[in-house]
Amino acid sequence: MAKAPASPRALPAGPVARERELVTPEGVDLKIKLAEASERAAAFLLDAAIIVGGMTALTILIFILMIGTKGRGAEPIAVVWLLGGFVARNLYFILFELTPRAATPGKRMLGLRVAARGGGRLTADAIFGRNAMRELEVFLPLSFLVANGRDVDAILSLLGVIWCAIFVFFPLFNRDRLRVGDVVAGTWVVKAPRPRLLRDMAIRQEPDAERFAFSTAQLDAYGVKELHVLEDVLRRYDPVMLAAVAGRIRTKIGWAPNPTEGDGDFLDAYYRALRGRLEGRLLFGRRRRDKHDVG
Specify if 1 maps to a domain: no
Give the domain range for residue 78.
Answer: 37-191
The domain total for the chain is 2
For the cut 50, the answer to whether the pLDDT of residue 5 exceeds it is no
The predicted structure's pLDDT at residue 25? 47
The predicted structure's pLDDT at residue 141? 64
My answer on whether 174 and 93 are in the same domain is yes
Cα distance between residue 203 and residue 212, in whole Å: 19
My answer on whether 183 and 43 are in the same domain is yes
The number of beta carbons lying within 10 Å of the beta carbon of residue 67 is 9
Q: Which of 191, 214, 246 is the last residue of a domain?
A: 191
The predicted structure's pLDDT at residue 199? 42
For the cut 80, the answer to whether the pLDDT of residue 7 exceeds it is no
My answer on whether 167 and 213 are in the same domain is no
My answer on whether 123 and 252 are in the same domain is no
My answer on whether 158 and 87 are in the same domain is yes
My answer on whether 103 and 150 are in the same domain is yes
pLDDT band at 49 (very low <50, low <70, confident <90, very high): very high
My answer on whether 159 and 213 are in the same domain is no
221: three-class secondary structure by DSSP:
coil
Q: What is the pLDDT of residues 60-113, one digit of tens each?
A: 887 887 777 776 666 777 777 777 777 777 788 999 998 878 899 999 999 898
CB 119 within 8 A of CB 24: yes
* Range of weakest confidence among 13-22, 119-128, 162-171, 207-216: 13-22
AA identity, residue 150: R
Cα-to-chain-centroid distance, residue 112: 9
My answer on whether 261 and 117 are in the same domain is no
Specify if 2 maps to a domain: no
My answer on whether 110 and 154 are in the same domain is yes
For the cut 60, the answer to whether the pLDDT of residue 170 exceeds it is yes
Cα distance between residue 174 and residue 27, in whole Å: 28
My answer on whether 152 and 245 are in the same domain is no
Specify if 20 maps to a domain: no
* Range of weakest confidence among 38-52, 85-99, 135-149: 135-149
Model-level pTM? 0.58
Specify if 54 maps to a domain: yes
Cα distance between residue 42 and residue 46, in whole Å: 6
Specify if 32 maps to a domain: no
Average pLDDT over residues 133-160: 67
My answer on whether 135 and 212 are in the same domain is no
Specify if 104 maps to a domain: yes
Q: Which of 191, 217, 236 is the last residue of a domain?
A: 191
Q: What is the pLDDT of residues 213-262, one digit of tens each?
A: 888 888 888 887 788 788 888 877 778 888 888 888 999 899 988 878 88
Largest Cα–Cα separation, the chain: 85
Specify if 295 maps to a domain: no
Q: Which of 191, 222, 257 is the last residue of a domain?
A: 191
Q: What is the CA radius of gyration of the chain?
A: 25
My answer on whether 177 and 210 are in the same domain is no
Cα distance between residue 182 and residue 114, in whole Å: 9
Cα distance between residue 284 and residue 35, in whole Å: 41
Q: Which residues pair with 112 in a beta bridge?
A: 191
The predicted structure's pLDDT at residue 107? 92
Residue 247, C-beta contacts closer than 8 angstroms, at least 6 positions apart: none
Specify if 289 maps to a domain: no
**CB hemisphere CA count around 228 (13 angstroms):** 15
Average pLDDT over residues 156-176: 78
Q: Which helix (H) or strand (E) holds 10?
A: strand 7-10
CA angle 113, 116, 121 (to 5 degrees): 100
